[in-house]
Structures are given as C-alpha cells and as structure tokens.
Structure 1
Amino acid sequence: MGILFAILSGTFIALQGIFNAKLGDAVGAWMSVTIVHFVGLLLALAIYFFKRDADMTAFKRVPWYYSLGGLFGVFVVFGELTAIQQLGVTWAICVLLVAQLVGAFIIDLNGWFGVKRKPMNTGQVMGLVLMVVGIGIYTFS
C-alpha cells in the first residue's frame, strides 16, 4: 500500500507544481503560495472534521520543532513553482527529486530527527550517481 501512496504522491507533486507555477504566473509567487496553503488548510480541516484522528496529548510528547513542517511546505511550494517557471516541468522535477533523495540519504545516513540510522552502501551511491547522470543526459541531449 505504501508504494501506491508514493506513486499517487509523486503524481500529485508533478500536478501541484504545474498548477502552482501557472497560478504564480497569474497572481505572483507569494500570493500563489498563500492561496495554495489556504486551500490546503480548508481541505485538511474538512477531512479532519470527518476523520477526527487527533490525540492532542501526543503533541506534548514530541519536540516542538516537528510542528514546523508547514513552514518547510511554504518554501517547497515557492521553490517548486519558481523552478518550474524557470526550468520547465521535467527538468525542475528531476532536480527536485535528486535533491530530495540526497537530503533523505544524508538524514538516513546520520540518523537525524529520530529516524533509524542506515549505513551507506555501494548500490545507494551508484543509484544517486545514475540519477545525476540521467539528468545530465536529459538536459544535454
């Protein structure tokens, strides 16, 4: 089931980037970011109204900075829409995916933010290198 969610999320990321970039062309980047997050807030509240899965006592047991994910989201949306406007959809998504994978790799390698530390292996490094080479081939062909 996790693979299905990853595929759906990846598809939505590509669609979101296009929609955000087009909205940003029309209203400006930061207004686009504002609209995107406001609409997302409305949807999240509507879903929460029916789902009601909160445990507010658990909120006290996690470090405060884990609630800052929304702040990262603001910069993700801004960066993605700006990259798509300047680079085009495919190249921007290629670079974003490699950056995301390298960031995740470094976090896993060091065990940061409470994730289980995972040692590096040759296959992972080769995979990252192949992705970068693939972007180069895509870009310069």
Structure 2
Amino acid sequence: MRSSSLVPVVTAGLVTIVAGAAMSLQGRANGLLGQVLGHAVFAALISFLVGLLCVGIALIVSTRSRAASRRLFALLRERRLPWWMLLGGLSGGLVVIAQATTIPLMGVAMFTMAFVSGQVTGGLIVDSTELPPGGRQRLNALRIIGVLIVLASLAYAAGDRLQSGIPLWAPLLPFVSGALTSVQQAFNGHIRAATESAVVATTVNFTVGFAALIIGTAALLVSGVPWQGFPTAPDQWWILLGGAFGVVFIALTTVTVARLGVLLLSLFALFGNLVGALALDVLLPIPGSVVTATTVLSAVGVLIGIVVTAMPSSGSPREPAPRT
C-alpha cells in the first residue's frame, strides 16, 4: 500500500477514534440515567429520543438530507435496498440498555472491555461476508493476530474485575451488543452509500430503535415497573445527552466504515472508547472506577493490535460489494 493511500485510512481512523470517545461519554451518561429513571429501558428510550430530535432537526433543515430521504424510500420501494438493512437501530437500542444495566455494576472501563471484545470479534466475522459496503475482506494472519492482541489486552485488564464478584451475565450483555454493532455499522454504511447521506442513515437508526423502545417501555409500565422521574440535581443535566453522543458515534462511523471496513473501524473505535473511558474515570470518577497501571497497559496493547491489523501487508484485497 502506497503512503499516499494511507492518508485517507489514517484520517478515517482518527475520526473513528473521536467517535469511540463519544461512545464512552454515552455509556457514562446512560449508566447514570438508568439509575435515576429506575430501569435501563427507560434510559434507552430517553437516549434515543434525544438522538432522534438531534438528527431530525438536521434532516429537516437540510435540503440535501430531505432529498436523500426521498431517495431512500424510492430504493426501498424498488427493492434495490433490502428492508432489513433498516434494522440496525435495534442493535443500538441493545447497546444503550447494556450501558444502563451494566455500567453501574462494573464501570465504564469494564463495560468498554466487554463491548469492544464483542465488536472486534463481530468485525472480523462481518468483514469476511458481503455485508460491509466496501466489499468482503479476506482473512489473513496479521488481521487475526491483531485481533488476538486486542482481545488479550482486554482480558488482561478485565481479569481483576471478573474476580471481584461481577455476575457472568454482566460482561456477556455488552459483548453481544458489541458483536451486533458490527452488523449495524455495515448496514449503516450501505444506507449511507445508497442515499449519499450520513444524516439519513443515522435518522433511520434512531427511528427504528426509538419505535422498539416505545414498545419495550409500554410493556414495562403495564407490568408495574415504575418510572422514578427525571434528573433534578443541577449537575445531572448532562446525563440526558447520551443520545447526542450516540448521534456523533453513528454519524462518524457511518462515513468511515467504507474506508476502513468493519474490523478496522471497530479497532479504532475501541481505542477511542478506551481513552475516553480512562479520561472519564480520572475526571468524573464513580465508585469502583479506578485508573490502574493494568488499564493503561491494556490501552497500549489495544493500540499495538490496531497497528498490527492496519499494517500494509495486512491490507487484504476487498472483493467488490454486490449491487443492491
């Protein structure tokens, strides 16, 4: 790979790191919001409502985005874009539920470890299929070794927390949601490529996720689960902004997935997520969120895994993506 061809990849990687940092902010906000509202699904509903309002405003004020939304309906009507590619928002809803459920139990850093372990595993699998908008990427030794380095680094950091009494389902839930996020990113990339609009792709995610969460919230309220209210403390206003951070993550990764592929996107987002989690644990600590040398060494290991996976000799040729 020539040095000139590395510039777009590096740029897309840096943008994706910023997106990953936004994801760590979303996790902290939704974890605290779930405690205030009384249930993870309630927190997910508010998060998606805020996100939907953000992208909805962007869609309304942008002539180009409105035209792109009409193009999306035309593509669906003509069956040039499969309807099931609109379902990525369901994965986003599961991510927010996982954040609100497990972060109070194990903190942002541990959630990040489990989530991105699922994300890189899912990315490795998804990249070997025809789902990514940039086409299939053949597996090779360096890509696999890079992912193994990442997973080993995460396992190293997670060891102490797993031995402290955290229930087994706690890391499993973010792991599954992370794996499904890889599928979501591939779907988003297709929608963005077909409509030429990241705003439309992001709006689809939040619309579908919000609709599913309305149903889930209604079921909980009918079953007798109480809604405990909204944040009232002056310093809690920002925990309502989880959806806005989610908009940043989805919009940026929707643009960069075609350049990086799902696996590399997952790795760069992982590193940004880890850096963001470390910063949060230092600047806005919660009980149990202690930055240790183990966590820092894990972040360094993740970066090494990213470098190995992104090395020029590991750039597996992409097979052309099928026309939709």
Say whether the fold is shared (TM-score over 0.5). Answer: yes
Contact 2:27–2:99 under 8 Å retained in 1: yes
Aligned counterpart, 1:91: 110
Aligned counterpart, 2:12: 2
Q: List aligned pairs for 1:26-105, cutoff 5 A.
A: 26-27=36-37, 28-52=39-63, 53=65, 54=68, 55=71, 56-60=73-77, 61-105=80-124
Contact 1:109–1:118 under 8 Å retained in 2: yes
Quickly say closer, same or farther: Cα 1:31–1:9, change in 2 above 3 A. same
Q: List aligned pairs for 1:96-135, cutoff 5 A.
A: 96-112=115-131, 116-135=135-154
Aligned counterpart, 1:13: 23
Q: Distance in 2 between matches of 1:50 and 1:3?
A: 29
Q: TM-score, normalised by structure 2?
A: 0.41
Q: Distance in 2 between matches of 1:80 and 1:72?
A: 12
The alpha carbon displacement at 1:111 in A equals: 2.5
Q: Secondary structure at the match of 2:81?
A: coil
Q: Distance in 1 between matches of 2:57 and 2:75?
A: 22
Contact 2:40–2:98 under 8 Å retained in 1: no
Q: TM-score, normalised by structure 1?
A: 0.89
Contact 1:108–1:115 under 8 Å retained in 2: no
Quickly say closer, same or farther: Cα 1:105–1:74, change in 2 above 3 A. same
Q: Secondary structure at the match of 1:88?
A: helix
Q: Distance in 1 between matches of 2:132 and 2:51?
A: 25
- What stretches of structure 2 of length at least 5 have no aligned partner? 1-10, 160-293, 295-324
Quickly say closer, same or farther: Cα 1:77–1:63, change in 2 above 3 A. same
The range that moved more, 52-61 or 96-105, is: 52-61
The alpha carbon displacement at 1:129 in A equals: 1.3
Quickly say closer, same or farther: Cα 1:137–1:21, change in 2 above 3 A. same
Contact 2:35–2:100 under 8 Å retained in 1: no
| Higher fraction of helix | 1
Q: Distance in 2 between matches of 1:4 and 1:120?
A: 24
The alpha carbon displacement at 1:6 in A equals: 0.6
2:36 is aligned with what amino acid?
Answer: A
The alpha carbon displacement at 1:102 in A equals: 0.9
Contact 2:34–2:100 under 8 Å retained in 1: yes
Q: Secondary structure at the match of 2:137?
A: coil
% identical equivalent positions: 26
Per-residue CA distance 1:10-58 (angstroms, 9 max, x = gap): 0110000000000001102111011011111111111111223222323
The alpha carbon displacement at 1:118 in A equals: 1.2
Runs (4+) of structure 1 exceeding 6 A deviation are none
Q: Distance in 2 between matches of 1:36 and 1:136?
A: 29
Q: Secondary structure at the match of 2:135?
A: coil
Which structure ranks higher in relative contact order (CA pairs < 8 Å, sequence separation ≥ 6)? 2
Q: Distance in 2 between matches of 1:47 and 1:18?
A: 25
Q: Secondary structure at the match of 1:83?
A: helix
